[in-house]
């Protein structure tokens, strides 16, 4: 029994975590745990926790001005404690806000994450650093995180310029070829490999057609979980070769205005269960954003999130089951949906 317990691992994923603007203002008076609301218990139960960090956590830097940009998101350096309060293990920095406060802001944020013991991937002082996977150990397993984005091509890291790991979602592009080689190389060093993809449009139910073969190629190269985000809405989950593809995990914490049709305040916590070397289940716990907090969805909101996700998953031939008592949606990783 002891060996079985050690071989079981849960990975918890949430989408965009934006701690700037009104969230940052709330954190002047609230505790670091405030933005997580009543979701903290699930974070504490998981073995590994990851998110996309959709802001700069830094007191330094001026707003990016080299190219036009409407929104600049920054949270005070002290708010790295928000991440540690949820026991966040790793974050993606490959997104369209990592350089919102120029290179100085990015560099201090990286230093803050290092000091807090939080792994990160997807940005750095050079393309070599931005491409470097985060690798760490948990329960005797080696975990790896690679993060890329198809947003903000002007922020593409080079050997001479800091920035993000920018990769167009086009399999014939040399940067995509390089990414697939990186995935294969990293998988040879780790037991579980997560590829974080900050990609696609802000709105719309369905993943763009080009993302599907790209995600498949990443899994063929060695990825175990595709952790997608960037859009303000959650998209359906696909299972390919018994590996989950989370095309878009949506917004988890922010201060955004809510679109009453798209409902960008609706999301989920995505929990991947691994037994030995096999991904056995994916569990979705519906959430809603209220007053700059993530909270467990209840009643009609929970039902709406579940119904939408079941519909979107069916489009991708993914079977799901609603567990009313546990208030979670189960994706059967090893079973296709009928029809």
* Contact predicate 158/68, CB 8 Å: no
Give the Å distances, CA to CA, from 273 to 46, 54, 240, 281. 9, 25, 16, 5
What band does 3 get if pLDDT is binned at 50, 70 and 90? very low
Collect all residues with Cβ–Cβ distance below 8 Å to 237 and sequence separation of at least 6.
244, 245, 246, 247, 282, 284, 309, 312, 313, 316, 318, 331
Q: Is the pLDDT of residue 299 over 90?
A: yes
DSSP 326: T
- Which pLDDT tens digit goes with each residue over 131-145? 999 999 999 999 999
- Which pLDDT tens digit goes with each residue over 40-88? 999 999 999 999 999 999 999 999 999 889 999 999 999 999 999 999 9
Domain tally for the chain? 1
C-alpha triplet 60, 62, 64: angle, nearest 5°? 125
What band does 7 get if pLDDT is binned at 50, 70 and 90? confident
Residue with tokens 């329960």: 139
- Which pLDDT tens digit goes with each residue over 18-40? 999 999 999 999 999 999 999 99
CATH number for the domain spanning 100: value is: 3.60.21.10
Q: Which domain holds residue 114?
A: 2-336
Tokens for 286, please give them: 């519906």
Distance CA 338, CA 320 (A): 11
Distance CA 83, CA 308 (A): 29
Mean pLDDT of the chain: 96
Residue with tokens 């073969």: 213
Mean pLDDT in residue range 324-339: 80
Distance CA 62, CA 115 (A): 22
Q: State residue 6's pLDDT score.
A: 56
Distance CA 155, CA 157 (A): 6
């Amino acid at each position: 029994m002891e060996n079985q317990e050690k071989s079981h691992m849960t990975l918890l994923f949430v989408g965009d975590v934006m701690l700037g603007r009104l969230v940052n203002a709330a954190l002047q008076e609230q505790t670091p745990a405030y933005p997580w609301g009543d979701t903290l218990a699930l974070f504490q139960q998981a073995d590994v926790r990851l998110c996309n960090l959709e802001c700069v956590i830094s007191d330094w830097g001026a707003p990016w001005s080299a190219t036009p940009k409407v929104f600049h998101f920054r949270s005070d350096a002290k708010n790295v404690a928000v991440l540690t309060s949820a026991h966040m293990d790793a974050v993606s920095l490959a997104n369209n806000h990592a350089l919102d406060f120029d290179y100085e802001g990015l560099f201090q944020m990286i230093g803050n994450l290092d000091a807090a013991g939080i792994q990160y991937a997807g940005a750095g002082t050079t393309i070599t650093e931005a491409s470097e996977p985060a690798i760490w150990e948990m329960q005797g397993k080696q975990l790896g995180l690679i993060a890329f984005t198809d947003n903000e091509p002007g922020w593409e890291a080079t050997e001479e310029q800091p920035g993000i790991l920018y990769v167009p979602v086009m399999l014939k592009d040399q940067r995509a070829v390089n990414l697939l080689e990186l995935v294969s190389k990293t998988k040879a060093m780790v037991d579980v490999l997560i590829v974080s993809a900050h990609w696609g449009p802000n709105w719309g139910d369905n993943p763009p057609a080009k993302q599907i073969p790209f995600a498949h190629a990443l899994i063929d190269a060695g990825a175990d979980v595709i952790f997608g985000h960037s859009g303000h809405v959650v998209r359906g989950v696909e299972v390919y070769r018994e590996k989950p593809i989370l095309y878009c995990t949506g917004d988890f914490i922010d201060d955004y205005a809510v679109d009453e049709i798209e409902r960008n305040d609706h999301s989920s916590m995505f929990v991947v269960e691994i037994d030995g070397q096999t991904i056995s289940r994916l569990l979705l716990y519906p959430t809603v954003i209220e007053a700059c907090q993530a909270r467990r969805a209840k009643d009609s909101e929970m039902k709406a999130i579940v119904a939408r996700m079941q519909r979107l998953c069916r489009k991708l031939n993914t079977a799901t089951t609603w567990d009313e008592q546990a208030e979670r949606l189960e994706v059967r990783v090893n079973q296709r949906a009928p029809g």
